[in-house]
């Protein structure tokens, strides 16, 4: 993420976050702190994989564009307790008013990156890629998915508009074959590219399958990406073996009941992707503090 080119949507989110915290004004700082220059720094209080520093800086810059910032670390860096992340030189009231919102972003996003890095480390050498999901905080999806990439993971679909995922509830309304035919017909329609911004023949279709019969039906429909959900490592190994015998261009994704204790065994089944909702919905926040130095 380029600190000089933060998306307008993120800037609006920052404004909303500041409005939520500051409201009509920071009473404590206005009353107790003189309006003058100070120097401050953000320090890591826990080991972490850093993510969100440009957003953290943008909080202060939203309050005062004249604030001077010196980054000593960058997103993706591993930091240890006591490491100085960034230094700030500017108005005392601005820095103290923006402190909590800035640290909330940095702690939350670094927590996601840190947990992702742990999962990525556990599957090293297997060829499996760690993915996120759509189980994100409303309004923060872009940032949370960005944090996953800082930790070495990759992004699954961003929303309901950039990829098709036919899941059990879709199949329950008909069948895999019917669902795929309808999706392909829809993608071939004249309005698809106009509405979605890319041609229908570029649309990725993924199907959730739970047994070998569904796997064979999906492959027969020409689908080349399959989601194997809520399977034990033994069941996964069996389905992966069956899938590889049917086609050599399949991409297989495992999901459900994935933990740091089980992810290595899942990766060793020969799966291509492992998607983990916990990366974004259950990552503990990393700990940082802002200290005045003069």
pLDDT tens sequence across 92-111: 999 999 999 999 999 999 99
Are both 136 and 269 inside the same structural domain? yes
Are both 163 and 288 inside the same structural domain? no
Give the up-direction half-sphere exposure of residue 147: CA atoms within 13 A in the CB hemisphere: 33
Does residue 250 form part of some domain? yes
Please enumerate in sequence order all residues whose Cβ is within 8 A of that of 278, keeping only pairs 6 or more positions apart, or say none.
115, 258, 259
Which residues are identified as catalytic? 100, 135, 167, 208, 229
Per the listing, tokens 């591993």 go with 78
Residue 265, domain CATH: 3.20.20.70
* pLDDT of 52 over the 70 cut: yes
Which pLDDT band holds residue 23 (cuts at 50, 70, 90)? very high
Are both 95 and 162 inside the same structural domain? no
Phi, psi of 122 (to 5 degrees): -70, -25
The reported pLDDT for the residue numbered 122 is 98
pLDDT tens sequence across 160-195: 999 999 998 888 778 899 999 999 999 999 899 999
**SS3 label, residue 205:** strand
pLDDT tens sequence across 105-141: 999 999 999 999 999 999 999 999 999 999 999 999 9
The reported pLDDT for the residue numbered 168 is 85
Cα separation, 217 vs 256, whole angstroms: 22
Does residue 1 form part of some domain? no
Structurally, the chain folds into a number of domains equal to 2
Burial class, 154, CB count within 10 angstroms (exposed 0-12 / middle 13-18 / buried 19+): middle
Does residue 158 form part of some domain? yes
Are both 87 and 148 inside the same structural domain? no
Are both 149 and 99 inside the same structural domain? no
Instruction: Please list the residues that pair with 166 across neighbouring strands.
Output: 207
Per the listing, tokens 């974004």 go with 280
CA nearest to 116, candidates 272, 286, 283, 288? 283
The reported pLDDT for the residue numbered 224 is 93
Cα separation, 195 vs 193, whole angstroms: 5
Are both 235 and 132 inside the same structural domain? yes
Residue 105, domain CATH: 3.90.1170.20
Does residue 151 form part of some domain? yes
Are both 23 and 94 inside the same structural domain? yes
Is residue 48 within 8 A of residue 79, CB to CB? The reply is: yes
Are both 164 and 272 inside the same structural domain? yes
The token duo for 138 is: 């409303």
Does residue 2 form part of some domain? no
Query: What is the distance in angstroms between the CA of the first residue and the CA of the last residue of the chain?
Result: 30
The pTM score is 0.95
Does residue 234 form part of some domain? yes
Which residues constitute the domain of residue 20? 8-113+283-292
Give the other-Cβ count within 10 Å of 184's Cβ. 17
Are both 272 and 134 inside the same structural domain? yes
**SS3 label, residue 180:** helix
Proportion of the chain above pLDDT 70, given as a percent: 98
Give the other-Cβ count within 10 Å of 221's Cβ. 20
Does residue 23 form part of some domain? yes
Are both 258 and 132 inside the same structural domain? yes
Are both 15 and 66 inside the same structural domain? yes
171, containing H or E segment: helix 168-172
Cα separation, 268 vs 128, whole angstroms: 8
Are both 184 and 102 inside the same structural domain? no
Per the listing, tokens 């993971």 go with 153
Does residue 30 form part of some domain? yes
Is residue 236 within 8 A of residue 271, CB to CB? The reply is: yes
What's CA 116's distance to the chain center, in Å? 9
The reported pLDDT for the residue numbered 42 is 98
């Amino acid at each position: 993420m380029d600190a000089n080119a933060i998306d307008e949507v993120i800037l609006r989110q920052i404004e909303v976050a500041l409005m939520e915290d500051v409201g009509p004004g920071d009473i404590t700082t206005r009353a107790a702190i003189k309006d003058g220059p100070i120097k401050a720094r953000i320090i890591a209080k826990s080991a972490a994989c850093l993510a969100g520093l440009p957003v953290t800086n943008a909080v202060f810059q939203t309050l005062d564009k004249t604030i001077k910032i010196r980054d000593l670390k960058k997103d993706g860096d591993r930091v240890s307790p006591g490491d100085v992340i960034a230094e700030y030189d500017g108005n005392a009231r601005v820095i103290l008013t923006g402190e909590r919102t800035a640290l909330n972003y940095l702690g939350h996003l670094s927590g996601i990156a840190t947990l992702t890095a742990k999962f990525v480390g556990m599957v090293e050498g297997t060829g499996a890629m760690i993915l996120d999901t759509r189980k994100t905080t409303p309004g923060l999806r872009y940032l949370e998915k960005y944090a996953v990439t800082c930790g070495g993971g990759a992004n699954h679909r961003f929303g309901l508009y950039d990829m098709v995922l036919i899941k059990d509830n879709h199949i329950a309304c008909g069948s895999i074959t019917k669902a795929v035919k309808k999706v392909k017909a829809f993608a071939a329609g004249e309005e698809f590219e106009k509405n979605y911004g890319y041609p229908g023949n570029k649309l990725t279709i993924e199907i959730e399958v739970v047994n070998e019969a569904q796997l064979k039906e999906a492959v027969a429909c020409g689908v080349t990406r399959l989601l194997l959900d809520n399977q034990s490592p033994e069941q996964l190994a069996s389905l992966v073996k069956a899938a590889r015998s049917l086609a050599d261009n399949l991409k297989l994704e495992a999901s459900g009941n994935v933990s740091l204790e089980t992810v290595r065994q899942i990766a060793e089944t020969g799966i291509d992707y492992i998607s983990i909702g916990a990366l974004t919905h259950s990552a503990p926040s990393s700990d940082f503090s802002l200290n005045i130095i003069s």
